């Protein structure tokens, strides 16, 4: 059983699956997040959810995150040793969090009378690229998992980790356990992948901040991918992308509640009356403006190639040209990357040939998402009008077929989200979407 990431003739990365497994029963991959395995009591409760699937005659592969705040605690320990811990050693350290959770989970299953085995990422055959801290899965050899399943065991895999081709432990970054779960589901040709978390599903917006938020029964891969990229933290974007590529049905469910979750799959027509399906928001946005660039066909590529070498993610981009044929370039970054962005630009100032750099922090991004926007013009105008009516200034704008984002002052973020949620009637459900 192999999952391989390769590069085609055009340079695009393409995944392929090879399998010899003949499924005689359903195979379910179940992923439990840190809050779902944060205590021994919660681990036992999660184990019961797995046993329920096993009693139905299904094969079960479980992927676990580290318990509760374990990862943050390990990072803090590392920083007490060094202000900038070596990336390799940090991955060695952080990988232990998921291993602890996996071993305890397997013990809980065994204690309840079910055969189980815990595997590290490398024991599970997960091979990654050689990038510490945010590696991508390149290849999965699931022979060991297949062997354990054939023996009737429940297989518990430590998420968030794999091994490079030189035998080094590498972690996948925040949300990496989601990616592990979906990648394994693809490699094993699983019938379904359930993501258990501390919420009951995907909501129209964050219910912790917006009172009118409601749970969606169904959402498309594309819509979920946009929401995940825009700050909706229920599932990692890479996991959604992988699920879409392999057509793996996902369900976001609560590990504590016994209610149905949100199905992520192909385009849904459950709410044809809703143009917008969700509102996402995230803070810690910084606007970077590079002033006095020579107007040339290579200026943009040179700047963003430079930033890419420093692994800096750039979001919204705006370019303007003065009467003197001088270009000014603005783009948004995560505030945490501001120091490194400054260093990248300053260290290459001669090559980039700009005059000065400006930073504007204390910003946030508010976005609307919905596949209905494709066939309904004027949605962006409606969004801007709603924000303007409440005197919320817009610093930057970005659009796609199913998304419109606006950068606003950080202190206006929640208010902007509330206004947009109400403007697009997201608090009202159609009869088909009502959840008990």
- Note the pLDDT tens digit of each residue in 361-405: 999 999 999 988 988 889 999 999 999 999 999 999 999 999 999
What local confidence, expressed as pLDDT, does residue 21 receive? 46
Contact between 172 and 28 under an 8 Å Cβ cutoff? The reply is no
Residues with Cβ within 8 Å of residue 324, at least 6 apart in sequence: none
Say what the pLDDT of residue 2 is: 57
Rounded to an integer, the average pLDDT of 156-169 is 98
What pLDDT, on a 0 to 100 scale, did the predictor assign at position 12?
54
Q: Would you say the C-alpha torsion 350, 352, 354, 359 has a positive or negative sign?
A: negative
- Single out the residue of 216, 108, 118, 104 nearest to residue 158, CA to CA: 118
Buried b / exposed e along 82-97 (16+ C-beta atoms within 10 A): eeebeeeebbebbbbb
The token duo for 309 is 């070498």
67 token code pair: 């318990």
Q: How far apart are CA 283 and CA 413, in angstroms?
A: 8
Q: What is the mean pLDDT of the chain?
A: 91
pLDDT at 250 > cutoff 90 = yes
pLDDT in tens, 11-70: 555 555 544 444 458 999 999 999 999 999 999 999 999 999 999 999 999 999 999 999
Quick check: 409 and 390 in contact, CB under 8 A? Answer: no
User: What's the rounded mean pLDDT across residues 216-238?
Assistant: 92
List Cβ neighbours of 158 (8 Å cut-off, separation of 6 or more): 63, 64, 95, 98, 99, 101, 102, 118, 119, 120, 121, 124
More confident residue, 262 or 272: 262
pLDDT score, position 375:
81
Predicted confidence at residue 431, as pLDDT, reads: 43
Which residues are registered as beta bridge partners of 366? Answer: 281, 406
**Average pLDDT of 315-330?**
87
Q: What percent of the chain has pLDDT over 90?
A: 80
Answer whether 57's CB lies under 8 Å from 218's CB: no
Contact between 400 and 303 under an 8 Å Cβ cutoff? The reply is no
- pTM recorded for the entire structure: 0.84
The full set of domains in the chain, from first to last, is 2-6+24-269 (3.40.1160.10), 279-423 (3.30.2130.10)
Torsion angle defined by CA atoms of residues 156, 256, 190 and 168, in that order, rounded to the nearest 10 degrees: -40
Q: Is the pLDDT of residue 206 over 70?
A: yes
Of 266, 254, 179, 260, give the one whose Cα is nearest residue 216. 260
Structure tokens at 111: 């204690």
Please answer whether residues 143 and 125 qualify as being in contact, where contact means their C-beta atoms are separated by less than 8 angstroms: yes
What pLDDT digit, counting tens, does each position of 96-152 carry? 999 999 999 999 999 999 999 999 999 999 999 999 999 999 999 999 999 999 999
pLDDT at position 8? 57
Please state the length of the chain: 436
| Pick from 324, 306, 314, 311: nearest CA to 289 | 314
User: Residue 410: is its pLDDT beyond 50?
Assistant: yes
**Of 187, 186, 254, nearest to 215 (Cα)?**
254
Residue 96, pLDDT score: 98
Q: Distance (Å, rounded) from C-alpha 351 to C-alpha 31? A: 47
């Amino acid at each position: 059983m192999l999952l391989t990431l390769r590069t085609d003739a055009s340079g695009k990365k393409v995944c392929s699956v090879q399998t010899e497994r003949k499924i005689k029963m359903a195979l379910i991959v179940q992923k439990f997040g840190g809050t779902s395995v944060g205590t021994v009591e919660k681990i036992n409760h999660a184990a019961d959810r797995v046993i329920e699937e096993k009693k139905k005659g299904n094969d079960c592969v479980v992927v676990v995150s580290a318990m509760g705040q374990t990862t943050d605690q390990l990072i803090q320990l590392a920083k007490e040793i060094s202000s900038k811990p070596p990336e390799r050693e940090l991955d060695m350290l952080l990988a232990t969090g998921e291993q602890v959770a996996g071993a305890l989970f397997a013990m809980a299953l065994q204690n309840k009378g079910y055969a189980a085995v815990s595997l590290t990422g490398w024991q599970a055959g997960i091979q990654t690229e050689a990038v510490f801290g945010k590696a991508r899965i390149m290849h999965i050899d699931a022979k060991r998992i297949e062997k354990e399943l054939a023996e009737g065991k429940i297989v518990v895999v430590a998420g968030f980790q794999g091994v490079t081709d030189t035998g080094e432990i590498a972690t996948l970054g925040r949300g990496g356990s989601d990616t592990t779960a979906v990648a394994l589901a693809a490699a094993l040709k699983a019938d379904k992948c359930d993501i258990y978390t501390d919420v009951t599903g995907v909501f129209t917006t964050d219910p912790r901040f917006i009172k009118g938020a409601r749970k969606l029964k169904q959402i498309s891969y594309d819509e979920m991918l946009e929401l995940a990229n825009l700050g909706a933290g229920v599932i990692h974007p890479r996991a959604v992308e992988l699920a879409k590529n392999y057509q793996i049905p996902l369900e976001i469910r609560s590990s504590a509640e016994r209610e149905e979750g949100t199905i992520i799959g192909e385009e849904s027509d459950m709410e044809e009356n809703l143009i917008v399906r969700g509102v996402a928001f995230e803070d810690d946005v910084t606007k970077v403006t590079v002033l006095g660039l020579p107007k040339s066909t290579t200026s943009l590529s040179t700047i963003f190639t430079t930033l890419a070498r420093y692994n800096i993610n750039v979001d919204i981009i705006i370019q303007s040209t003065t009467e003197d044929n001088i270009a000014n370039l603005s783009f948004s970054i995560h505030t945490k990357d501001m120091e490194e962005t400054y260093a990248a630009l300053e260290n290459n100032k001669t090559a980039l040939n700009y005059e000065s750099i400006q930073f504007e922090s204390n910003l946030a991004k508010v976005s609307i998402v919905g596949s209905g926007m494709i066939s309904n013009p004027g949605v962006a105008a409606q969004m801007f009008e709603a924000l303007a009516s409440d005197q919320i200034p817009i610093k930057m704008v970005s659009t796609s077929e199913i998304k419109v984002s606006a950068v606003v002052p950080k202190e206006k973020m929640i208010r902007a989200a509330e206004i947009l949620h109400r403007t697009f009637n997201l608090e009202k459900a159609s009869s088909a979407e009502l959840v008990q």
